Each structure stands twice: as C-alpha cells, then as structure tokens.
C-alpha cells in the first residue's frame, strides 16, 4: 500500500505507518481491516476514496509481548473520524480486550468528519464506550502526535497514560478560531493546548517528549513496568541494588532542620532497585511524586510527598494526581509504596474555592478502596488530615514505618502551642513557659514512639533499614487477598 509519507515529513512528523513500525518490534505488525471504506454520499463524499478510512489498525509485539495499535493518518482526509473510522478503532479495542493485551492509540486527526454528521458522532460514541469497557482490564495508552480537538479528546482522556510530543501535539475542546470568535481572544494552538500546557498546568498528559522517537521509546519502557492485562503477574526481572552505599546515603540526604526542603526522589532512589524509578507526570503538581519502580525486580507504584515542591503540601491538583495513580495501581494489582512528609492540605480561599475538600476526599477514597499491598514510610512530617490521607494504617496500610525524627500530630508544635497557650503568648514574661511547652509537645505528642504505642505504626526504624524492611514487607504481602468487602454495586467516589 502506498502512503503519503513526504506530506507528513514536511510537517516534521512521521507517517502513521512509520509511527507503528517505530513502536512495535521489527516485522511484527499485522494490519487488519485495511479494506474498510466509508459509506457517506453527502457533499461529494461518494466521489472520494479514503484508504482504510484514515486509520491503520492491527496487532504487533513490543519487547516480544503482543499489543494492539491504531494510528490515525493525517494525510488521508486530515485523519478525520467518520463512522467506519471510529468503528475500526472501537473494534481493535474490543479485540484487545478479548486478546488481553494493551492498546496503544496514535492520535493525529482534524476531528469529526463534518460531512458525515451524526454518523461521525456515533463513531466517537462507540469508541468511548470501548475505552470504558477496557478501563481497568487492559492498559490503554494514548500518543498525541498531532491535533486532537473537540470530542476526540475524550478518548485519550479516558485512557490510562497520555504522551505528547513537543511542537506537534495539541489537545483542546475548541480551537483558537472558536476561542477568538466567542471570547475575542487571540491565542495560538501551543498556548491553548500544547504539550507544556497539559503536562504542567492541566495535568491531562503524563509524559512530554522532545521528539517522536523519544516518545515511542518511553512507551516501550512503560510497558516493561506494568501488567499487560488484569490478572497478569509478570515474573521479577534481574535487578541490582547497591545496598551499603544507598543505605548510608539516606541519612545524609535528610536536612537537619525540619523546615528545610529536599527532593524526595533522592530518597526513593536509595530504596528502590538501581536505576529503576520511572516517574509519571513529573511536571504536574510537583508537591507529590508518582511513578513506577522495582523492589527486588518486581514493579511497585510510588506515591511520595516532595518537600522540594511547595514544601510537600497537598493541593487540589496533587490530590487528583495521586488518587488516580493509586486507582490505576490497584486496578492492575501493583503494590503501593508511599513516602510521607506532609505538613497538611494547603490553606486559603483559592484552594477552598477550587474544592480542596472534594479533591482531598478522592485521595482518601482511593487509598481506602485499594486492596493491593500498601507499605508506608513516614520520613518526617505527617500532620492532621493529610497524615490520614497519605495511606495511614487507618486507611488500610499493611505496614507503616516511621523514621526516628518523624513528627506525627494534628499540627506542628508551634501552631499547637499558639492555640493551647494563646493567653500566655500575650505576656512576654511567659516566653520560657511557652518554649518549655513547645518542646514538651514535640517530646510527648509528636514523637513516633507515641504512635507506635497506640499501634498506628508498625515500627520506628533507622532510615538505613528502609530498603530491607520495605522489601521484606512486599515479600510477606506477595499473595495478599482482600477478605472483607461490603456487598454493593460500587461506591460513589467524590469526583
């Protein structure tokens, strides 16, 4: 079959078939439904032959494991989606469900095929329905390799992971022309829905790549970490762990002052297998870090507060980011490892009006609902409702460890004393008493020993023991099964 490759190259993009070949193993792609054609006769469409109706679909392998793939061809009728085009994608997803393999969609389309009217919308509807059917059963990965506008954005929006490529990826409900006509605002495609916007501000996308080849390599790497269907239990991979150096490094990485920031990624890398941490959504909601890593060769999901980003405080975006990642890991039975250093949920009218209560509740719901092995390490601060929300024992954590200098309380000592001794604070002569009570609060209330005495944490451990303890916990929990469930259709997560 002939493809208009040069037309795509002129735009700095690969052709749909080149993209598929860059993604799958050599000579592994088998195209299906290449003979499909549209059946529209309106507005001169009866005279147009649109090869494979503008989308290439089929199966291949990545690193030897089967995947379903579709790629929209912008050189054919602008990659526009008509009824048959949408049905081809819906069919490949349905087949991927039956075959129990991931489905990867490469989106590059001008949107709905206007000439087909409601039939085009039916194509989208069938596609969305299959996206939802597949959710939680097989991984769904979307690559935005061109425009993705209007109703088309909701298919990637349902999928698990979205990749964008700088300078060629655009996603928006309404494009710049509509924005200008309705809101009298001049805005470029990049400013409205480019890769930077969605990876840093909206949080719609999870990976922003400098070029297409880097994008396809990252997709392959992601597939090495995740199960390929619900119930898949990948064998552990060969791993290395530089035990002595990393164990000693943890203590040096923690600042002396409890108010001083540090990058939690440094701690993560000291605990997980060497060079195994693969971060998801690194540019969005930087106060929380999410990603995959390996412990003794097995994949775990990491959720960690990051003091290097807004002090590690939890806001609306961070709650959403963490909650959705928890739910993904739980859906595919990926154990969770949580690192907690959180001063609380962010205060103030801006986040309250955005619904921090509703967003924070998502995180509590996600952790409480998750039945996978859950191990939590409190490195420093764990205050108030945020302590509970970050996979505490109260939300079903199997093991909770705390480092000796961890502070677990309703709030910090200074804030607590301001409330408990408000009258004394007005009298300068009472300063020694206030200082004494502040230290007393730290020594008797905030200490992890108190939480250990109540059974809220499993053990107080030396930071150098973290890897050893975490690995042991996951070995113990390897065959964990949920035993108590309330019979119901499903809960009502606070979306």
* Active-site option among 78, 136, 385, 396: 385
* Active-site option among 151, 157, 355, 396: 151
Beta-carbon contacts of residue 495 (< 8 Å; ≥ 6 apart): 362
* Rounded Cα–Cα distance for residues 332 and 202 (Å): 25
- Respond yes or no: is residue 150 known to be catalytic: yes
What spatial distance separates the first Cα and last Cα of the chain, rounded to whole Å? 46
Beta-carbon contacts of residue 391 (< 8 Å; ≥ 6 apart): 303, 336, 338, 340, 367, 374, 376, 397
Phi, psi (deg, nearest 5) at residue 115: -60, -25
Residue 479, Cβ neighbours under 10 Å: how many?
6
* Rounded Cα–Cα distance for residues 37 and 411 (Å): 64
The two structure tokens encoding residue 304: 């960690």
- Respond yes or no: is residue 151 known to be catalytic: yes
Is residue 251 within 8 Å of 463, Cβ to Cβ? Answer: yes
Phi, psi (deg, nearest 5) at residue 444: -110, -30
* Rounded (5°) CA angle 41-43-47: 55
Beta-carbon contacts of residue 79 (< 8 Å; ≥ 6 apart): 54, 55, 72, 73, 108, 109, 110, 146
* Active-site option among 86, 150, 194, 291: 150
* Active-site option among 386, 397, 402, 409: 386
Residue with tokens 């975490």: 470
- Respond yes or no: is residue 491 known to be catalytic: no
Residue with tokens 């998502």: 362
Please give the positions annotated as active site. Answer: 150-151, 385-386
């Amino acid at each position: 079959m002939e493809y208009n490759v040069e037309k795509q190259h002129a735009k700095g993009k690969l052709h749909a078939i080149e993209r598929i070949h860059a993604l799958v193993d050599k000579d592994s792609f088998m195209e299906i439904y290449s003979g499909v054609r549209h059946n529209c006769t309106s507005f001169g469409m009866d005279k147009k032959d649109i090869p494979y109706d503008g989308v290439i679909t089929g199966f291949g392998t990545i690193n030897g494991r089967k995947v379903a793939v579709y790629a929209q061809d912008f050189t054919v009728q602008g990659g526009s989606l008509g009824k048959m085009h949408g049905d081809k994608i819906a069919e490949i997803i349905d087949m991927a469900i039956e075959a129990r393999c991931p489905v990867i969609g490469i989106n590059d389309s001008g949107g709905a095929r206007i000439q087909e009217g409601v039939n085009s919308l039916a194509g989208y509807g069938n596609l969305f329905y299959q996206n939802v059917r597949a959710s939680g059963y097989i991984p769904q990965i979307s690559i935005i390799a061109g425009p993705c506008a209007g109703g088309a954005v909701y298919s990637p929006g349902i999928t698990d992971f979205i990749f964008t490529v700088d300078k060629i990826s655009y996603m928006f409900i309404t494009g710049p022309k509509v924005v200008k006509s309705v809101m009298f605002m001049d805005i470029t495609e990049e400013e409205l829905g480019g890769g930077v916007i969605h990876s840093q501000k909206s949080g719609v996308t999870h990976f922003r790549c400098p070029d297409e080849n880097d994008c396809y390599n990252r997709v392959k790497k992601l597939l090495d970490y995740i199960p390929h269907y619900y119930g898949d239990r990948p064998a552990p991979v060969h791993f290395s762990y530089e035990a002595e150096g990393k164990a000693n490094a943890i203590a040096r990485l923690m600042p002396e002052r409890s108010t001083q920031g540090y990058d939690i990624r440094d701690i993560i890398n000291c605990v997980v297998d060497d060079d195994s941490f693969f971060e998801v959504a690194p540019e969005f909601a930087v106060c929380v870090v999410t990603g995959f890593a390996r412990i003794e060769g097995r994949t775990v999901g990491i959720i960690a507060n990051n003091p290097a980003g807004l002090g590690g405080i939890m806001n609306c975006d961070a709650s959403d980011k963490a909650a959705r990642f928890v739910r993904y890991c739980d859906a595919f039975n990926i154990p969770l490892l949580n690192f907690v250093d959180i001063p609380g949920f962010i205060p103030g009218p801006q986040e309250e009006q955005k619904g921090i209560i509703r967003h924070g509740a998502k995180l509590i719901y996600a952790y409480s609902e998750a039945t996978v092995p859950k191990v939590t390490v409190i490195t420093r601060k764990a205050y108030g409702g945020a302590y509970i929300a970050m996979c505490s024992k109260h939300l079903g954590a199997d093991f909770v460890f705390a480092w000796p200098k961890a502070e677990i309380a309703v709030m910090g000592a200074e804030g607590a004393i301001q409330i408990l001794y408000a009258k004394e604070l007005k009298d300068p002569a009472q300063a020694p008493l206030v200082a004494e009570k502040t230290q007393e609060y730290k020594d008797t209330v905030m200490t992890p020993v108190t939480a250990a005495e109540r059974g809220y944490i499993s053990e107080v451990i030396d930071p150098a023991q973290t890897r050893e303890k975490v690995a042991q916990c996951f070995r113990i929990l390897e065959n964990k099964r949920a035993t108590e469930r309330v019979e119901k259709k499903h809960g009502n997560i606070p979306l």
